[in-house]
Chain A
Amino acid sequence: MDLTFSAEDEAFRQEVRQFLVENLPTDLAARVRLEMHLSKAETERWQAILNARGWLAPHWPVEHGGQGWSVTQRFIWDYESSLAHAPRTIAFGLHMLAPVLIKFGNEDQKRHWLPRMLNGSDWWCQGYSEPGAGSDLAAVKTTAVRDGDEYVINGQKTWTSYGQNANMIFCLVRTANTGKRQEGISFVLVDMDQPGVEVRPIITLDGDHEVNEVFFTDARAPVSNLVGEENQGWTYAKYLLTYERTTMAMVGASSASLALLKEIGRTEMKGGRPLGEDPYFAARVAKVEIELENLRTTTMRVVAAAAAGGAPGPESSMLKVKGTEVRQEIVSLMRRALGPYALPFQPDALKPGANVAPVGPAYAPGVTPSYLNSRKLTIYGGSNEVQRNIISKAILKL
């Protein structure tokens, strides 16, 4: 594999950098850099800027409003936009539901839902996990029962990220109880703006409200919102998950975090010298930097193979495991770097529009919450234990 970028790729990189210089709002980048929270409006503002350039979903085929970018181009975009501290786009529609609709949806569904993802009409969230169905996703109990031209939905989803912002949810629901558990699952799109859908916040250990419980009580969805065939949802769900995992290598985001970590290392002092020069700390930073460099190439190798073969395979589980562990180590080192100033809990300083002088250095308030929040990375999207099971079975054939 050739790791050098071609002249065209370099020209593309310059184009990306130029775009970011001219279009990335500095107020948003400043907040992202310090691991602060963005409001719904701030995220939508950035997505609208990207959409105006045609870059909100560049990985989509051109006929659906994408750019058909090569693997290398996608990598360059992810890396450069992360290093510039661009906000992350919301993946649930753009990176998770969209590939499913493009592969398994009907023409009406593609024509209706894909443009709405781009123009900001819909904010999607994911209705997969349930209280009794976490790693064992096929245990979903939420039911959808046909009533004329509609499904009537009852049950509960949980860990729904940004559900409080969403107006649409894609759900795994049980439409049959015969045969294997996996065979009675369907993939249905549900409008959240109806009396039968209730969203309740879950506060996480970092004090943030990011995830929710979603309750369905006789909620309704038109049968036209069934994706693919009834009882075949497990196939689509797994296809979606492989896409989800490839976004979890987070090489770009981790590179940006590593830059902040090094900056903290230059600012914090230990024994009269910058902490970054302390051999203990420097060794820890070097080790994770080497891991990240290796992961960058592993990611490109996996994504390139996937591009040749159509869809990402079980190799995406490697990216999820290593990517999340590298990311956790980087934020863990940031916490360590802060020393005693990792202790003050300052959620108010992270809120959009906050005007509170931080206790300790300016980068302090975001670090420990970010460390705590990052513990989710090895749990969600299929826990790393589940990913290792997939690797053992699907790659190693054990």
Chain B
Amino acid sequence: MDFKPTADQQMLSDSLRRFIAERYPLHLRAKLVDSAPGYSVEIWRQFADLGVPGALFDPEVGGYGGTPRDIAVVFETLGQAAVSAPFLASLLAGRILAEAGGEADQVLLNQIIAGQAVVAFAHQEPTSRYDLSHVATAASRAGDGWRISGAKAVVSYGEAADSFIVSARTSGALTDADGLSLFLVPSDEPGLSVRGYVGVDGARSAEVSFQDVAVAVGQLLGTEGKAFELIEKVTGLGILALCADGVGALDVVKDMTADYLRTRTQFGQPIGSFQALQHRMATMLIEIEQARSALTNAVAVMDEPRLERERALSAAKYTLGRVSALVAEEAIQMHGGIGMTWELALSHYAKRLIMLDHVLGDVDHHLERYIALSRAA
């Protein structure tokens, strides 16, 4: 097995890392998160010039990559630098446009790739928790088109979005997989309102509500009532991205903590000389390597049939959720009081790792799902 990045992937990762370090360091980003859109629009365009988010899409839809490994490399690099910007939103929405969009939608995808448009995926709802088929938002027939009403919760970069891809129920009961449809809705459409806020992880999200928002036939993406398969598939790409992001952040947190243990002295010696801490640091390292392997397992089966793919994704997300919480909490503990401070970059990495478990399913959700998928296999 060779999971080394290709030369192209390595080059992209290196240039992205350098660009972030030079042009978009943490202290600069920290000033932007408290108000919309939460990131530098100018830097976002420059990311696009570097080839991200383009690397998240296949060449046949205008991208520069699009393989699972491409996605993992990009997000691992973003996680290492703890960058928050609409990368995940672009991946989810862009892949839906690529799979289910028509010619007009290809134009929008090109704009996403060029850093000229942001599209957010409005799917999760206030009471859906992590259940992908739980959709109360309804699209009811109105003439040739539909009218959409409902509420979407914690939509990543909802304020920054020029358009939303919104999931709505066109038939079926509340949690039926069948009967879900996807629509492309411009954010300035009457009846659509957005309440944005910063997240604990330093990214911005929004509550998005739809009140009798009119959509025309051309705004339907894919086949009416048959969107679940695509929703699950792009969510899987999102899970892959988050796991890679987590692996990147875990490595950095481990290094920060090991450095601290080498330099902080108490009782006349570096605290890293105490065996109680050495063993915990060793456990952290072992668990991070397990997390990396879980990501590798998922990357390897992304093109396999559904059960195999989704089972590996749930295994990976479960592993990352478990390891991220462990490492974040242990890193704070071993830093002592200084690890509790806003001023230290470590605390922001730790929060990002903890919050990873609250996006696209937590450890319990994915453990349960893994068991169900294993039974079905």
Contact = CB atoms under 8 A, between A and B. Distances in A.
B3 interface: no
B336 A379 contact: yes
A344 B342 contact: no
Contacts of A380: 337
Interface in B173-228: 174-175, 195, 197-201, 205, 207
B175 A272 contact: yes
B263 interface: no
A203 B266 contact: no
Given A341-B154, A375-B333, A378-B333, A203 B200 contact: no
Contacts of B325: 332
Given A203-B341, A385-B276, A134 B336 contact: yes
A135 B267 CA distance: 8
**Most chain-A CB neighbours within 10 Å: which of B126, B131, B175, B200?**
B200
B337 A159 contact: yes
Q: Assign chain B's interface to a size class.
A: 35 or more
A341 B134 CA distance: 16
Contact of A345 (B200, B362, B368): B200
Contact of A341 (B153, B175, B195): B153
A385 B266 contact: no
Contacts, number: 123
A343 B205 contact: yes
A129 B337 contact: yes
Interface in A261-288: 268-272, 275, 278, 280-281
A203 B343 contact: yes
B33 to A, nearest CB: 9
Most buried by A among B124, B201, B357, B364: B364
Contacts of B265: 132
A202 B344 CA distance: 11
Interface string B247-286: 0000000000000000001110001001011000000000
A73 B234 CA distance: 59
A204 B338 CA distance: 9
Interface in B350-366: 350-351, 354-355, 357-359, 362, 364
A345 B175 CA distance: 29
A98 B276 CA distance: 35
B342 A379 contact: no
B200 A268 contact: no
Given A135-B336, A269-B129, A359-B195, 6 more contacts: A271-B131, A335-B358, A336-B362, A336-B364, A379-B332, A380-B337
Nearest to B155: A340
B340 A379 contact: yes
> Which of A268, A340, A345 has the most B CB atoms < 10 Å from its CB?
A340
Interface string A304-332: 00000000000000000000000000001
Given A203-B341, A343-B205, A360 B367 contact: no
Nearest to A385: B276
A242 to B, nearest CB: 20
Contacts of B195: 359
B154 A383 contact: no
B129 A343 contact: no
B347 interface: yes
A47 interface: no
Interface of B: 124, 126-127, 129-131, 153-154, 174-175, 195, 197-201, 205, 207, 265-267, 271, 274, 276-277, 325, 329, 332-333, 336-337, 339-343, 347-348, 350-351, 354-355, 357-359, 362, 364, 367-368
A135 B342 contact: no
A276 to B, nearest CB: 13
Interface residues of A, number: 49
B197 A136 contact: no
A339 B358 contact: yes
A204 B350 CA distance: 13
A343 B339 CA distance: 20
B175 A204 contact: no
A346 interface: yes
B124 A344 contact: no
A17 to B, nearest CB: 36
B126 A202 contact: no
Contacts of A203: 341-343
Contacts of B271: 135
Contacts of A338: 358
A202 B266 contact: no
Which of A129, A203, A339, A383 is the most central at the interface, judged by chain B CB atoms within 10 Å of its CB? A339
B368 A139 contact: no
B284 to A, nearest CB: 15
8 contacts: A136-B267, A205-B351, A211-B337, A268-B129, A338-B358, A341-B126, A342-B358, A344-B197
Contacts of B277: 385
A139 B205 CA distance: 46
B329 A375 contact: yes
Contacts of B354: 335, 371-372
A272 B176 CA distance: 12
A129 to B, nearest CB: 7
Given A136-B266, A270-B129, A346-B197, A205 B341 contact: yes
A346 B198 CA distance: 8
B155 to A, nearest CB: 10
Contacts of B207: 359
Contacts of A368: 200
B355 A343 contact: yes
B36 to A, nearest CB: 14
Contact of A343 (B127, B131, B200, B368): B200
A203 B30 CA distance: 14
B347 A379 contact: no
Interface centre among A159, A343, A385, A388 (most CB of B within 10 A): A343
B328 to A, nearest CB: 9
